[in-house]
């Protein structure tokens, strides 16, 4: 394992974040604070609780997942797309490092950024609601697995995209709607029976449900099934990235 190469890629990506703190960190935190004001105060005054959890606290896991998913994808996809766009990726590819080391550098940096953002959002939430975490170990497990999995997914998008429009296509038109429809701001028990069944086909529901269970011990699906889904997604992303590197998909000139 060429640890120096991994560190070099990781530091370069983290340095880029430090140079764009307003866009990378401040903007998502401010946006999440506005969600708390709108949903927690305005709507929360009409919906007192969901499954015996105060509504303002109930939406915290969903808001965290909304930010973590979108930022993990954005950070990882842009991190690998920009070197492709400028042509510097070929210098990395020609260096004596393996695809695993390249992956650890780029995905590790993207996941780290998402973790920092998630922690800041959690801290921000404590200023608006009384928050408790029933199962800190499982909360941290879902948190880490989600950051890593969706950073891998973003890396795949960055490899696949050949222009900036494609880079934003899946996050904007697929991921964000799935998060909003995945129980971020409500329990699917509040929906008519038909839409409850439809919601079960939304993979993001299982992530949010398992994450929320770690906070309040309430969920729309079982915690075990939620954990299995995120592990399956993680494994799938690893396999896809491995195939893309082995075949040189969108990497070879």
pLDDT confidence tier of residue 253, bands split at 50, 70 and 90? low
> Which pLDDT score is estimated for 233?
92
User: What mean pLDDT is predicted for residues 60-67?
Assistant: 87
Distance of CA 238 to the CA centre of its chain: 16
Q: What is the pLDDT of residues 210-243, one digit of tens each?
A: 999 999 988 888 888 899 999 999 999 999 988 8
Distance, CA of 189 to CA of 141 (rounded, Å): 25
pLDDT at 150 over 90: yes
Is the pLDDT assigned to residue 252 strictly greater than 70?
Answer: no
Alpha-carbon gap, residue 64 to 66, rounded angstroms? 5
Give the pair of three-digit tokens for residue 16: 């880029």
pLDDT digits (tens, 9 = 90+) for 191-214: 888 888 888 888 889 989 999 999
Give the model's pLDDT for residue 13.
82
DSSP per-residue codes, the chain? --HHHHHHHHHHHHHHHHHTHIIIIIHHHHHHHHHIIIIIIIITTT--EETTEEHHHHTHHHHHHHHHHHHHHHHHHHHHHHHHHHTTHHHHHHSS--HHHHHHHHHHHHHHHHHHHHHHHHHHHTTTS----S-HHHHHHHHHHHHHHHHHHHHHHHHH-SSHHHHHHHIIIIIHHHHHTTTSSS-GGGS-HHHHHHHTT-HHHHHHHHHHHHHHS--SS-HHHHHHHHHHHHHHHHHHHHHHHHHTTTT--
pTM, to two decimals: 0.88
Of 205, 210, 141, the residue nearest 179 (C-alpha): 205
Beta bridge partners of 50: 53
Whether the Cβ atoms of residue 80 and residue 234 lie closer than 8 Å to each other? no
Total Cβ atoms within 10 A of residue 166: 14
In this predicted model, what pLDDT tens digit does every residue of 20-55 receive, in sequence order?
Answer: 666 667 777 787 777 777 766 666 566 677 778 888
Model pLDDT, residue 112: 92
Confidence (pLDDT) at 235: 94
The pLDDT, as a whole number, for residue 144 is: 94
The rounded mean pLDDT for the chain is 84
65-91, pLDDT tens digit by residue? 888 888 889 888 888 888 887 777 777
The pLDDT confidence band at residue 62, using thresholds 50, 70 and 90, is confident
Q: How many CB atoms lie within 10 A of CB 165?
A: 9
- Span 92-121, pLDDT tens digits: 777 777 788 888 888 999 999 899 888 988
**Residue 71 near residue 114 (C-beta atoms within 8 A):** yes
Q: Are 50 and 128 in contact (CB under 8 A)?
A: no
Per the CB < 8 A criterion, the answer to whether 39 and 185 are in contact is yes
The per-residue pLDDT for 166 is 81
The first and second tokens of residue 229, run together, are: 């889904």
């Amino acid at each position: 394992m060429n640890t120096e190469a991994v560190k070099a890629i990781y530091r370069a990506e983290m340095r880029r974040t430090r140079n764009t703190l307003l866009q990378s960190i401040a903007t998502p935190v401010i946006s999440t604070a506005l969600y708390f004001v709108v949903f927690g105060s305005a709507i929360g005054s009409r919906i007192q609780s969901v499954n015996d959890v105060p509504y303002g606290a109930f939406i915290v896991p969903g808001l965290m997942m909304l930010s973590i998913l979108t930022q993990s994808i954005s950070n990882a996809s842009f991190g690998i797309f920009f070197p492709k766009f400028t042509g510097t990726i070929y210098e990395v590819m020609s260096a004596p490092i393996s695809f695993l080391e390249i992956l650890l550098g780029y995905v590790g940096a993207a996941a780290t950024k998402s973790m920092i953002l998630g922690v800041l959002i959690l801290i921000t939430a404590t200023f608006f609601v009384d928050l408790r975490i029933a199962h800190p170990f499982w909360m941290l497990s879902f948190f880490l697995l989600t950051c890593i999995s969706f950073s891998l997914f973003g890396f795949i998008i960055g490899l696949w995209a050949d222009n900036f429009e494609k880079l934003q296509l899946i996050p904007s038109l697929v991921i964000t709607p799935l998060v909003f429809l995945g129980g971020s701001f409500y329990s699917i028990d509040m929906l008519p029976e038909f839409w409850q069944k439809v919601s079960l086909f939304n993979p993001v529901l299982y992530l949010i449900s398992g994450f929320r269970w770690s906070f309040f011990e309430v969920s729309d699906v079982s915690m075990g099934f939620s954990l299995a889904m995120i592990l399956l997604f993680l494994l799938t992303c690893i396999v896809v990235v491995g195939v893309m590197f082995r075949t040189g998909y969108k990497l070879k000139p």
